Structure 1
């Protein structure tokens, strides 16, 4: 979990592909969940290292994600809310 300042700095940094890392913006986490812990909006996750490892973790935990490849070598996963959570928000 990163503070907003570290999240922005990460965009400019180059991190190695040796480590398997999943990054989350601390402020985005706070506004992405309702009071019951349900995800109410897509949450951006940045992944470095073994992308297949990250995909396996999401699949094994039944977490719906959308994947994008940006900047040529950085993968971004967007954790998607379940339909019930979105309906509850309205």
Structure 2
């Protein structure tokens, strides 16, 4: 049963990879990459269960955190076109309303 679930997750990952390559907009591609990362977490959990190694769950949790932070950083970068002004609190010239 878990082997069938693993095959289904791999098939879903292939479909999401197609969407990441062919996505009509940038946000479709970012969403596809985020979905691919989520399916990777599922795959790590399934493989860990199939092989009897619970260590894979720790790796899956770490990968889930990295996937979340990377997605937020990518979306913030594409919104502001730079990460430095947002992180340091320095506003741009055109944003000032004196």
Does TM, normalized by the shorter one, top 0.5?
Answer: no
The TM-score by the shorter chain falls in which range?
0.3 to 0.5
- Asked which structure has the greater RCO (Cα within 8 Å, sep 6+), the reply is 1
Normalising to structure 2: TM-score of the pair?
A: 0.31
Bigger strand fraction = 1
